[in-house]
Amino acid sequence: MSAHAHSSHAHPADGYAGDVTPETAHEWVQSGAAVLVDVRTDAEREWVGFVPGAVAVAWKQWPSMALNPAFDEAIHAASNGKKLVLLCRSGVRSVAAAKRATELGLEAYNILEGFEGDANDLGHRGATGGWRMRGLPWRQN
């Protein structure tokens, strides 16, 4: 395991509260300090897997991938006065969503590597980092 995996702090980021490892995000959620928000589409959570207890607030909608018009209201409701840790597939949409949540006055963090991590040399996800590969709780329907 890499040295930074268990440091429970955020790496500074531009336009939102910071980036955290999947392990740190999980610790924060377990302690009650943060709410995990999955910003992937319903289809992704359904097909690829999901984190039990996470709040689903899609950043973009399947299949058009247009921005979710209900995002602002839903992310506010999800925060419930706590900091937010945002999860997507690989950590791209969650950065955009964290920036938007920050504009709305919320304390929002991006979870590095996302749910599936980056694609490897074969173009497959799930082998190089990510929430799932790091052995954190997840399920499939």
User: What digits encode the pLDDT tens for the residues 119-136?
Assistant: 888 888 888 899 999 999
Number of domains in the chain: 1
Cα distances from 65 to residues 21, 32, 71, 91, 93, in angstroms, run 26, 32, 13, 16, 11
Q: Are 92 and 115 in contact (CB under 8 A)?
A: no
Considering the domain boundaries, does residue 32 fall inside one? yes
Q: Strand runs (DSSP E) across the chain, as ranges?
A: 18-20, 34-38, 55-56, 60-61, 66-67, 83-87, 108-111
- Residue 130 falls within a domain, yes or no? no
Higher pLDDT, 126 or 31: 31
- On the question of pLDDT at 6 being above 60, the answer is no
Cis peptide before 63 (omega within 30 of 0): yes
Residue 55 lies in a domain: yes
Is residue 3 a part of any domain in this protein? no
On whether residue 1 sits in a domain, the answer given is no
Over the stretch 66-113, which tens digit does the pLDDT of each residue have? Answer: 999 999 999 999 999 999 999 999 888 999 999 999 999 999 999 999
In the chain, pLDDT over 70 holds for what percent of residues?
Answer: 95
Q: pTM for the full model?
A: 0.90
